[in-house]
Amino acid sequence: MALLFVSSAERAAVWVSAFDAAGEKIIVGEEAVTDPAEITHLLCWTPPKDLQRYPNLRVVISAGAGVDQMPPLPEGVELVRAIDPGIEEMVRDWVVMATLMQHRAIPVYLARAQQGLWKPQPGRHAKNTRVGIMGMGRIGTLAAQTLGGMGFKVSGWSRSGRAVADVPVYGLQDLDVFLSQSDILICLLPLTTETRGILNADLFAKLPEGAALVHAGRGAQLDMQAMRDALDGGALSSAMLDVTNPEPLPADHWAWRDPRVIITPHIAAVTDHHAGSMHALEVIRATRDNRPLPGRVDQDRGY
Ligand code: NDP
Ligand code: OXD
């Protein structure tokens, strides 16, 4: 078995030493492939155009946790997402920071600071703030546990409504109830056919008046104009986005200059190359042993 590595040169050095230490074969870059038949695994953000060139390809491993950038794969080729506790903790940290910033009205104070305005406003205790998390997977669960531990009233929403320790989780049919109880709405959903455009006017209208939005899922889930209308109409009071629609956000986009919106350029998580290589090695061993692949994506479901 051999893994074809199609990613940045900066990552490659770490991966090559991890694979050498584990006695597994890694080939960096398509130009280095002499025998396409030996390639069984591929690591990439998006695959090279001609995957048919690799007749024994069995698994494509995404360089990121999200897999929405992947095209349909040839019949029989499995897709695996990156699994890296470091990514999950970093996104959790970003989400907790964004939640605290909105909870403590930091966008308001940043705007007042621009005017040199010393003007306090009443604050709110965490125990009186309801946080709703859309997407209770690996990252959503971690965020829920941390925010719950800080005293926020946390609930979740997921496709299955599967219970998570100490956190009430609503299923698909209970979206409206979930939204009506979300003073701060966090989106940590994968981008799929069902979740594209889910953060829209209809959804914002179901939130408590003046709710805040925290978005670290994928840009295409958000209707930016609907968000602006909701901010203008009072359904939303502020938003903090790590992902935008489009992405990158053009320099002249209104959202950069709106004091109610704080944007970071998709930096919530930074990939840890060592952790990525350890996960890929585990995927290779699982393939060899016919075990379930860690991080296997259901390609019909899209995550
Ligand atoms: P998981 O696959 O572990 O979890 C996905 C969650 O979303 C599950 O709870 C799933 O429900 C739920 N879900 C999926 N589809 C729907 C739907 N149609 N309706 C309701 N719930 C749905 O993903 P992760 O937690 O690891 O990551 C989530 C996303 O975060 C990634 O896909 C990526 O887009 C984004 N991300 C962003 C980063 C950044 O830097 N901003 C970095 C890393 C990830 P169920 O539990 O029922 O299956
Ligand atoms: C990811 C991301 O999916 O960085 O890993 O967004």
pTM of the model: 0.97
Name the residue type at position 181. Q
Q: Cα 249 to the chain's mean position, in Å? A: 17
List the domains of the chain with CATH numbers.
2-84+271-297 (3.40.50.720), 86-263 (3.40.50.720)
Cis before 246 (ω within 30) = yes
Please report the pLDDT score of residue 29 as a whole number. 97
Q: What gap in Å lies between CA 182 and CA 205, rounded to an integer?
A: 12
Question: Sign of the C-alpha dihedral, residues 64, 67, 73, 76?
Answer: positive
Tell me, in angstroms, the distance from the centre of ligand 2 to residue 7's CA. 14
Sign of the dihedral defined by the CA atoms of residues 232, 238, 244, 248, in that order: positive
Cβ neighbors of 113 (< 8 A, separation 6 or more) are none
The reply to whether ligand 1 has any atom less than 6 angstroms from the CB of 194 is: yes
Active-site residue (options: 130, 196, 228, 266) = 266
Q: What is the pLDDT of residue 10?
A: 86
Question: Measured from the CB, is residue 189 less than 6 Å from ligand 1?
Answer: yes
Q: And the tokens for 140? A: 């959503």
| Distance from the alpha carbon of residue 22 to the mean position of ligand 2, in angstroms | 26
Q: Determine which one of 11, 103, 218, 273 is catalytic.
A: 218
Position 205 scores a pLDDT of 98
DSSP 258: -
**Ligand 2 atom index nearest CA of 66:** 3
Angle at 40 between CA 38 and CA 45, to 5 degrees: 125
At residue 232, the 3 state secondary structure works out as: helix
Nearest to 283 by CA among 17, 33, 1: 1
Q: Which residues of the chain have pLDDT under 50?
A: none
CA distances to 80, 92, 141, 189 from 160, rounded to whole Å, are 21, 21, 14, 13
Indicate which residue's Cα is closest to atom 2 of ligand 2: 64
